[in-house]
Amino acid sequence: FFDQYLRDTRVPTLEYSVKDDVLMHRWVNTVNDFNIPVRLTIDGKPTWVEPKSEWGTTKITANSKEIAVDPNFYIVPFKL
């Protein structure tokens, strides 16, 4: 956490995509071992996910239409 936000100039990027009822996510543009949870709002419901540098998955409701990152997190969301 501290190495990323205090000793590095890059802003963490959360890459994500949705296929059917699976949310795929990962961190890019980060220092090694940057693994912090992030809160998303999926169809109006707050949900915590724990991205890592490798692709991970989180099961969500099929046909979820709206996914938003909590604006209190200093990250860049990027939908693939």
Give tens-digit pLDDT for 7-27: 999 999 999 999 888 999 999
Which pLDDT belongs to residue 4?
95
What is the value of pTM for the model shown?
A: 0.89
Mean local confidence (pLDDT), 41-67: 91
Backbone angles phi, psi at 6, to 5 degrees: -110, -25
Average pLDDT over the chain reads 93
* C-alpha dihedral (30, 36, 42, 47), degrees to nearest 10: 180
Confidence of residue 50 (pLDDT cuts 50, 70, 90): very high
Give tens-digit pLDDT for 56-71: 999 998 777 789 999 9
Q: Where are the beta strands (DSSP E) in the chain?
A: 13-19, 22-28, 38-42, 45-49, 56-59, 67-69, 76-79
